[in-house]
Amino acid sequence: MTPPADPSSRAAVDCDFSGLIVAVAARQDRAAFSALFEHFAPRVKSYLTRSGAPAESAEELAQETLLAVWRKASFFDPARGSASTWIFTIARNLRSDALRRERHPEALARELDEPAPPRPADVVLAAAERESRVREAMKSLSPEQAAVVRLSFYDEKAHAAIASELDLPLGTVKSRLRLAMNRMRSLLGEL
Amino acid sequence: MPITHHPPDDTVLRYANGTLPEAPAIVVATHLSFCPDCRLRMHSYEALGGSMLDEVAPSKLSVDALSSVLAKLDGNGPPPATQTQAKAVTPRQQPDLPTGMDWPQPLRHYDIPRWRFVLPGVKWTALSFSGPEAGQLLVVHGVPGAKLPSHGHDGTEYTCVLTGSFSDSQGTYRVGDLIEATEDHDHQPIVGSDAECVCVIAIEGHLRLHGLARLLQPFLGI
């Protein structure tokens, strides 16, 4: 929950992580993989724990997520999104698999395993733009709005769980979330 | 004809963070396959997930976490992209659709049972998933002008039009449209008079059929 002081330093850091994934893809670089693991595995575990996974399976899924990063590295395209976003989608899919106790339909793997299609320059720009606008939008929300967006992102039983966690009436949570989402939408604009 | 009915933000968010149950996720994925605008919205929420990963406090891992994962990498190098892409899709059992129409991509990996006739001019097929929380999925086919069974729901109903159109008291829905009907929305959809209509529908909770169709419910596979 500690945002870096300078947004440009975060972009630089993320660039580095993208470079590490590219290195894994290009030459099975184990040092690059270790650096990715050290950074992301503990964060993926936190995300999974916050989403309701017991500590043991959160750890197991976090390790599987990073294993998948190794195996799927050649599908990562830095132009389509940040390293964090790509790793988030892998963790999310593994988590859905685990929840459904059966193979996640490949069709719903949402482009993860698909070869990257040729990209016009404007699409490439849009992805980078999207990443930075999303981060800016989160920063510009009021603390209350950012809190409901975070909680609605993490919790399975969104509204009721948020209401009890924040000790607010359900209606207040719903209207706050709606306001926050509307604000996010207008800040994200046409992407 | 442009798509005029889209899922609300909350639904796209639940799809993007993986908490939407399987049946509605298939209907939303079908809408996304038609709608570039909602795909972008979904990607924004995925980027939101990425930013959450950046800001979350790291958890402690077991001491041997990295070494045990590194050990698994031996002989498990990243496969060349070409090999993985060539992965064949297992052919599935799926009933026929109107001529010139394919099953939408999100449904191609499922076995789909044969059509069952429900009412004159209306047939459907139902998919079940492991666990009641996954919801139920129906694919409904109506001839032009057919009246679908009048019904209500205990939970939310998600519908995406694959071909043709239908109307209810609240509007007319065309190819790619996604309609979310809440618990209090009792309706009787009517297929447009110009073409047959196929929809994929997910139901959270139970469908409540009204009238004659209710008597048939035990035989309809839902």
User: CB of B50 within 8 Å of any CB in chain A?
Assistant: yes
For A28, other C-beta atoms within 10 Å of its C-beta total 15
Question: What SS3 class is residue B97?
Answer: coil
Number of domains in chain B: 1
Q: What is the mean pLDDT of residues A4-25?
A: 72
Flag whether B88 is in a domain.
no
Residue B169 contacts A, CB cutoff 8 Å: no
Give a yes or no: residue B65 inside a domain.
Answer: no
Confidence of residue B150 (pLDDT cuts 50, 70, 90): confident
Q: Determine the residue of chain B that is closest to A108 in CA distance.
A: B106
Q: Which of residues 57-116 of B touch A (CB under 8 A)?
A: 57-62, 65-66, 68-70, 72-73, 76-81, 84-85, 87, 89, 105-110
Q: Considering only residues A68 and A125, tell me which one the structure prediction assigns the higher pLDDT.
A: A68
Predicted confidence (pLDDT) at residue A106 exceeds the cutoff of 50: no
Cα B174 from Cα B165, distance rounded (Å): 5
pLDDT at A55: 85
Kindly state whether residue B70 falls inside one of the protein's structural domains. Answer: no
Cβ atoms of B173 and B166 closer than 8 Å:
yes
Q: Is residue B185 part of a domain?
A: yes
What confidence tier does A123 reach under pLDDT thresholds 50, 70, 90? low
Q: How far is residue B161's CA from residue B31's CA, in Å, rounded to a whole number?
A: 8
Q: What pLDDT, on the 0 to 100 scale, is given for residue A105?
A: 44
Task: Return the percentage of chain A with pLDDT > 90, whole number.
Answer: 33
Judge whether B217 lies within some domain. Answer: yes
B170 or A155, greater pLDDT? B170
Of B60-74, B133-147, B206-220, minimum mean pLDDT range? B206-220
Q: Tell me the shortest Cα–Cα distance from A166 to chain B, in angstroms.
A: 19
B194 touches chain A (CB under 8 A): no
Helix, strand, coil percentages, rounded to 5, for chain B: 30, 25, 45
Nearest CA to CA, how far is A80 from chain B (Å)? 10
**A130: which chain B residues are within 8 Å (Cβ-Cβ)?**
40, 43-44, 47
- The larger pLDDT score, comparing residue A50 to residue B144, is at B144
> What is the per-residue pLDDT for A116?
47
Residue B154 domain boundaries: 1-54+107-222
Cβ(A90)–Cβ(B94) below 8 Å = no
What pLDDT sits at residue B84? Answer: 44
Chain B neighbors of A28, CB-CB under 8 A = 73, 77-78
Interface test with B, best of A34, A57, A60, A110 (most B CBs within 10 A): A110
**Average pLDDT of the residues in A39-59:** 91
Label residue A15 by pLDDT band (50, 70, 90).
low
pLDDT number for residue A102: 43
Provide ipTM, 2 decimals: 0.82
Which residues on adjacent β-strands are paired with residue B142?
A: B122, B197
pLDDT band for position A58 (50/70/90)?
A: very high
pLDDT tens, residue by residue, B99-118: 888 888 888 878 899 999 88
In a domain, B98, yes or no: no
The CA distance from A157 to A173, in Å, is 13
When the pLDDT of each residue in chain A is averaged and rounded to a whole number, the result is 78
Q: What is the pLDDT of residues B201-215, one digit of tens each?
A: 998 866 666 665 666
Give the pLDDT score at B82: 46
| C-alpha span between B163 and B174 (Å, rounded) | 7
**pLDDT-above-70 percentage for chain B:** 82
pLDDT of res. A153: 79
Measure B125 CA to nearest chain A CA, in Å.
Answer: 19
Distance between terminal CA atoms of chain A?
26
Mutation site, A16, A108, A112, A155, interface B, largest B CB count within 10 A: A108
Average pLDDT over residues A79-87: 92
Interface touch B65/A63, C-beta < 8 Å:
yes
pLDDT at B35: 92
The answer to the question of residue B216 being in a domain is yes
pLDDT tier for residue A68 given thresholds of 50, 70 and 90: very high
This prediction has a pTM of 0.82
Which residues of chain A does B70 touch, with a Cβ-Cβ cutoff of 8 Å?
30, 33-34
Residue B215 lies in a domain: yes
**The domain spanning residue B46 has which CATH number?**
2.60.120.10
CB atoms inside a 10 Å sphere around CB A149: 22
Are A134 and B47 a contacting pair at CB < 8 A? yes
Q: pLDDT tens for residues A129-155?
A: 888 888 888 888 888 888 878 877 776
Residue B200 has pLDDT above 60, yes or no: yes
